[in-house]
Amino acid sequence: MELRALFVIVIAAIFINNFVLIRFLGICPYMGVSKQLDSAIGMGLAVIFVMTLASFATWLAYYFLLAPTANNLFYHIFRLSCPPDLTFLRTIVFILVIATLVQFVEMVIQKTSPALYRALGIYLPLITTNCAILGVTVLNVDEAYNLIESLVQGAAAGVGFTLALVLMAGLREKLETADIPEALKGTPIAFIMAALMSIAFLGFAGLSI
Amino acid sequence: MSLWYEFSKGIYKENPIFRLVLGMCPTLAVTTSVQNAIGMGIATTFVLFSSNLLISIIKNAVPKRIRIPMYIVVIASFVTIADLVMAAYEPALHKSLGIFVPLIVVNCIILGRAEAFAGKNRVLPSILDGLGMGIGFTLALLALGLVREILGNGTIYGYPVLGSGYNPMLIMILPPGAFLILGLYLGFFNWLDRKRKVS
Amino acid sequence: MNKIIRLPVILCTTTIIAAGALAIVNNLTKPRIDAQKKAALQAALTQVLPRAKEGVIVPVKRSGKLEYYVGYARKDTTNKVGYIFIARGKGYSSTIETLVGINTAGIIEGIKVLHQLETPGLGAKIVEIRHGEQKPWFQVQFIGKRKDDLTVDKDGGTIQSITGATISSRALTNSIRQAIEELEKKIGGFAKVDNRVKPDGKNGIPCITGATVPSLSPVRSTGKASSDR
C-alpha cells in the first residue's frame, strides 16, 4: 500500500500534474534555459538534486521548528506550556533554507567534484528564484506528506521539470531552421509550442492509478 | 529622467509580462478568470510597492555582498503580510489563488526591481517604479484573464456575456490555453513593434 | 569588526526583526482567520443539515480523528435530527471531498462539495451553479435520496450524470453511497421511520458516544469508476 502511494505520487508529479506544463511552476528557467539541449540537461539535473534536498530540509524545518507539534524544538528547548504555532513564518524560512542550501551545495560541489561543478555550477545560482523549488516544498506541506513522500515528490517533480525542459530544448533546436512568421520568432512561438505540449500532457489526466 | 517616466514605463514600454517576459508562473496559473487576475495583481503590486519602498530606504545600510539575501527577507516578509491579510479578509480568493500567494516571493519581477532599481535609486522614484510595474503587471494579467474567461467560460467576472447558446472553448481555461494566449499576445506586441519601426 | 562575523550577524538581525514584525501581523489577523474558518465550517454544516441550524452539531471523534457529526435540533442535544460526514472518492483528476448531511432515517438532506480539482467545464460541473439558480444543480439531485437510490443513470440509477464527465459524477455518487454504508455500521443502522414527518423529540436510536464507535478508518471510498470513457 505504501509503495503504491509513492508510485502514485511519482506518476502524478511527472505526468498528470507535470510541474511545468500543468502546474505552471518554473516557467522562467523553462523558457530561458531551453535553447540548447546540453544546458537543458545540466539545468534539469541541478533542479532534481536541489529539489530533493530542499524537500528534505524544509520538511524538517517545518515539522521541527514551525508547526505546533509535540516535536517542536522550541517547545522542548524553552519548556513552553504548549507547542508554538510559527507556521506564519513558512514562506520566509523556506526561501532562506533554499537559498542557503543552494549556496552550500555550490561550495561543496566546487570543492569535491570540479567536473560536476563545471556541468552544474552556472545553473545553481539561478535555482534560488526558481519557483518550482519553493513550490514543491509548499505543496509537500499543504498536502501533509510525510518525510518519505516529500522526498519522493521532490525528486519526481525534478524529473518532471527535466522531462519538459529537455523535450522543449529538442524542439527549439529544430525550430532554429523552421519558417515561422517574424513576429512569432523566439519566445512567442516557444509559448505556443508549450501549449501544444501541455495539450499532450493533459491526456495523462485520464490515467487510472 | 522624470518621475512620470519612472511610473509609466512599467505600464507599456517595459511591461513586466509583455515586454520583459518576467513572472510567468503566476501569469499563466491564475489568469483563468478576471477575478483571480485582479486579486493576484493587487497582491503583487502591494509587495512591489512595499519592498521597493523599504529597500530604497535601507539600501545604504545593506552590505553589498549580502544584499540579495537581505532583499529576499524583505520581500518574503511583505508576501507573508499579503498572505495573512488575504486569508483574513478574502478567504475565497485566497483559496482559489492557492500556493501562488506564497510563491509571489520568487516572482522574478520583484527581486528584479529591487536589484535593478530600488537598490540604486531614491525613495520617490523607487515607489513610483514599484507602483508602475505593479499596475503594468495587473493590466497584463487582466488582459489574459479577460480573454481566457470570455472564451473559456463565456463570462466576465462571473457574469455571462455571450448568451446561453455559447459553447465555451474549454481549452482556454485549461493549462494549454494559458500558454497559447500568452504566446499570441507576445507575438502581437512584437508585431506592433516591428510595424512601428518600419513606419 | 571581522567581516566574516559581521555579515551573518546583520543578516540574522534582519531576519529576526522581520520575524518579529510578522508575529505582530499574525497576531492581528489570526483571530479573524480562525473566525472565518469556523464560520465557513458552521455554514457548510448547517447547509447540509438545515434542521440543526437552531440546535447544535457535535463532532464525534475517535482517537483524535473526526468520524462524523451528530446534529440536534435543540441546544440541549435532545432532538437528534441526523448525521454529517465527509465522503471521499477518487474522481478523474482529484479526490472529491463531499460533506453530506443525512437524517436519522437515512435520507440525504443536503450535500456540499468541499474539495475538487476536476477538469474545468467537465468534471468541475459538480459544483456548477447555473445562472439564475441558487444551488449547484448536480448536487441538488441528491436531496431526499436514500442509499439505494445512489447510482448514476448510466449504471441504471436515479442520479443524472454530467455530460462528458461520467467518471466525476460516478465517483461522487459512489463515494457517498459507500460512506453511508460505513456510517450505518458505525451507528448501528438508521431508524425505520422518517422523523421528518413526526419530530417528536426522541427517535429510538441509541445515543452514540465516541467511545463505542466501532470502525476507525475515515469514511473513504476506494471505488474509482472502472471504465467508460
- pLDDT over 90 for what percent of chain A? 39
Q: What are the tens digits of pLDDT across the range B127-145?
A: 999 999 999 999 999 999 9
List pLDDT tens digits, range C36-55: 999 988 899 999 998 888 88
DSSP C73: S
Lookup: cell for B194: 516591428
- Cell match 517604479: residue? B129
Nearest CA in chain A to C225: A208
Query: Is the separation of the CB atoms in B51 and B74 below 8 Å?
Result: yes
The answer to whether the CB of A70 falls within 8 A of the CB of A144 is: no
Residue A128 in this model has a pLDDT that exceeds 80:
no
Closest CA–CA distance from residue A205 to any residue of chain C (Å): 6
Task: Report CB contact under 8 Å: C19, A205.
Answer: no
Residue that wins the pLDDT comparison between C79 and A158: A158
pLDDT beyond 70 at A65: yes
**How many other β-carbons are positioned within 10 Å of the β-carbon of residue C120?**
19
| DSSP labels, A95-133 | HHHHHHHHHHHHHHHHHH-HHHHHHHGGGHHHHTT-HHH
* CB contact (8 A) between residue B32 and residue C120: yes
Band of pLDDT at residue C193, cut at 50, 70 and 90: low
- ipTM of the complex, rounded to two decimals: 0.89
- Lowest mean pLDDT: which of A52-61, B94-103, B165-174, C185-194? C185-194
Looking at the predicted structure, is the pLDDT value of residue C174 above 50? yes
- Chain A contact set for B73 (CB, 8 A): 92, 96
- Work out the pLDDT band at B185, boundaries 50, 70, 90: very high
Q: How many whole angstroms separate alpha carbon C222 and alpha carbon C229?
A: 19
Q: Where are the domains of chain A?
A: 2-206
> What is the predicted pLDDT for the residue at C177?
93
pLDDT of residue B140: 95
Kindly report, residue by residue over A169-183, the tens digit of the pLDDT.
999 888 888 888 888
Q: Is the pLDDT of residue B81 over 80?
A: yes
Domain residue ranges of chain C, discontinuous segments joined by +: 46-212
| Residue C166: predicted pLDDT | 87
Q: Does A3 touch chain C (CB under 8 A)?
A: no
- What pLDDT, in 10s, does the model give residues B110-126? 998 999 999 999 999 99
Q: What pLDDT is recorded for position C5?
A: 85
The reported pLDDT for the residue numbered A21 is 92
Residue written as grid cell 438532506: C109
C-alpha separations of A19 from A24, B105, C87 in Å: 6, 18, 28
Closest CA to A44 of A158, A136, A129, A134: A158
Percent of chain A with pLDDT over 70: 97
**Shortest CA distance to B83 belongs to which of A46, C186, C29, C111?**
C29
Closest partner residue to C40 (CB to CB) among B91, B153, B174 is B91
Statement: residue A196 has pLDDT above 90: yes
User: How far is residue C124's CA from residue B96's CA, in Å, rounded to a whole number?
Assistant: 14
- Alpha carbon distance B183, C165 (integer Å): 30
Of the candidates C28, C171, C145, C146, the one whose C-alpha atom is nearest the C-alpha of residue C92 is C171
**Which of B17, B20, B24 to mutate: most A Cβ within 10 Å?**
B24
